[in-house]
Each structure stands twice: as structure tokens, then as C-alpha cells.
Amino acid sequence: MFPRAEIPAGPIVLREPQKSDAEAITRACSDPEIVRYIPNIPVPYTLDDALTFIGEIAPSEWDRGGASYVIADAATGDWLGNIGLKPLDVRGVGEIGYLLAPWARGRGVASRAARALTEWAFSQGVPRVELVAAVENVASQRVAMAAGFQREGVQRGVDPHRDGGRGDVVGFARLASDSGEPQRPYLPDLPGGELTDGVVRLSPITPADAEAFLEISNEPDVVRYRVPQEPFTREAALERCRLTGMRWLAGESVALGVRDAATGEFAGDIQLFNISPLLGQGMIGYGLGSRFRGRGFMTRAVNLLAEWVFTATPLHRLIAGTDPANTASHRVLERAGFTQEAFMKALLPGPDGTRHDDIQWVRMRG
């Protein structure tokens, strides 16, 4: 059993729940984000539910060999959230979980609490602490990284949903021997959340873009020059849009909608992928809806993305590949400052076992 001791953490303190926390817990647990990502939270959440948590559920966690704390303001004692360490598994490994009130977010409270509880667990002899976050819960993934947890990959079908389905999570962990330094994203956020030159606007693709993305991506001449040359299913399009934030934070890819700055219409998409920190290189790809062509949208989009890459990331080289017959894409790249670098014979897989040549292009920092 763990000792039931308060854990000070600067402006916050981890302490056991009190009946006086019940009203704040009740208010917070009606928050849509908490309801969405914590499926065992009752809906609607009542004062009786909060009192049951305080009087029964939290004490039972201690009795089973875990720890159940609230996150409180160190100066006022006000409740800000809950955090706990589950009973250790058969390997002696612990897992933490937390929720934070909407009014406490954006101040580093959750990452400070996660760091404090993890380091307390290490002081109790726990060798490894794990943390999982739903693939769409990018805010929680940021908390893990800020608390010194290292990303270990996606775990499939771990997360139970309210509808009886199961979702994927991102797994993070800290070892007692780790430095605990915050994990800095390789790819920063866009300034103000977007890039624009007044004519086009680039912003991260979201699930709200899925139908427009699907329609444009499945235009015949877009499919013709994509690898592989296959239409997207609706499920694949939605997944691409759902996982934008996770893949960005992991340093795997950037997926942006290309939008008409005047109307906000979704005109196409542009991606940065195949990112190699070792080489300082990333690859771009794009697709533009037919009714938006001839207006220079994609040249502007490529320029905006390249300029952000070379000012905000460590990448030194941007490359692109085009089918030799895709002269429209050649012109886009030329106007955006790319030059031809190589002709790759039979590089690209086509339908029915065919192979296609590829012209590779490059734009370099400076």
C-alpha cells in the first residue's frame, strides 16, 4: 500500500478528495471533453456521483494498492482536477490517469500534476509509469510530453467507448532512470494556427473537412497521380482528418487544408511527410480540386508551407516527386522554387503490378 501523504508541486498540491470538492467535480464532469474521453464518467453527472467518488471510489483505489488524489490550488485549496495511480500490474508497472476542470486548463496544471505523481511513484519504488491518451486527445498527449513521458507508439483497440466500440490510444512512459526533461515536438504549431498570404489559407485538416477532402481526393486526375493509385474510402478519409493532430505532435507528418482565404472553401490539401530528422529532409505532396485550378492556389500553398518549414523547423531539404506526365505539378514546383534533381526509373507502383517513373524535385533552405 502507498502512504496517503500530500504531494506538494509548487502552485498546486495533490491531496485526498474532500466532501467540499463535490460541487466543483460535478460542474467539471459535465464538460464535453471529459465526457468524450473518460467513458466511465456517468452522464449526466450528478452531485451524488461526485459524493460516491469521494466517499467510495477514491478510497477503494487506495485499498486496492493504487493512489487517488485531487489536484488542488495550493493557495486556496480549490479543486482543479483528479489524478491517480492505478494499482501496479503483475510487472510492477504503474499507470496514471487524470482529468482537469475546464477552468484550470492552459496553465500547465495537468503536466505539473502528472510530473509530481510520477516522481512520487518513483520514490515509492515503482520502476516505470505509463500514460495513455486517445489518438484524438492531442491536449492529453501534450501533457504527457511536458511531464517528461516519451512516446512509445499507438496501441490498437485499447480504449473502450460509450457505444461499445474500442479506439486506439497513444502510449507514453517514463522510467525511473529517465531524465524527465520535457519532450519537445519536432514540428512546432503554426503561428496563430494557420498560414496565409491573403489569397490562400492553410490550416490543419480536421474531421469537419472529411467530406470535402474525400470529394477532391477522389477526382480522377488526382487519383491518377497519387501513390497508390486508389480512391480513398470514406473511412480512410475520416481517419486521415482525425489523426492530423496526433501525427503532427509525433513529428510524423503535417496535413493542411488549402482554403480560399476569401470564402473559406476547402480547395485541396497539402502534406509534409516522410520526415527524416537525421537527414533534415521532408517530402511534400498535394491535391487541388478541379474547380479551383488556374488561380495559382497550389503554388501559393507550396510556398507558404516551404517558408514555414525553413523558418520554423530544423529541416534543410524539401523534396517532391511527380509523374513525368504531370506537367501541371511540374509548373507548380518550378514556380515555388523547386528544381529537378533526379529521374527515378520504375520507382512508383501503379495498378495491376505496373511501375511508373518519377521525377524528383528539391528546394533547399536558403
Kindly list the structural domains of the chain, giving each domain's residue range(s) and its CATH number in brackets, ordered by start: 7-175 (3.40.630.30), 191-364 (3.40.630.30)
Judge whether residue 9 has pLDDT over 90: yes
Mean pLDDT calculated for residue range 229-244:
94
Q: What is the pLDDT of residue 351?
A: 86
Residue 144 binned pLDDT confidence (cut-offs 50, 70, 90) = very high
Q: pLDDT tens across 281-297, in order?
A: 999 999 999 999 999 99
User: If we measure between CA atoms, which residue out of 134, 142, 138, 140 comes closest to residue 160?
Assistant: 134
Number of neighbours of residue 60 by Cβ within 10 angstroms: 11
Residue the block writes with cell 522554387: 337
Helix axes 234-242, 210-217, angle to 10 degrees: 120
**C-alpha to C-alpha distance for 95 and 83, rounded to whole angstroms:** 11
Mean pLDDT calculated for residue range 187-211:
97
Of 138-142, 149-153, 225-229, 266-270, the poorest mean pLDDT is in: 225-229
Q: What is the pLDDT of residue 352?
A: 85
pTM comes to 0.94
Residue 38 binned pLDDT confidence (cut-offs 50, 70, 90) = very high
**C-alpha to C-alpha distance for 362 and 341, rounded to whole angstroms:** 6
| H or E element at residue 153 | strand 150-160
Q: pLDDT tens across 60-107, in order?
A: 999 999 999 999 999 999 999 999 999 999 999 999 999 999 999 999
DSSP code per residue over 293-321: TTSSHHHHHHHHHHHHHHHHSS--EEEEE
* CA 304 distance to own-chain centroid: 22
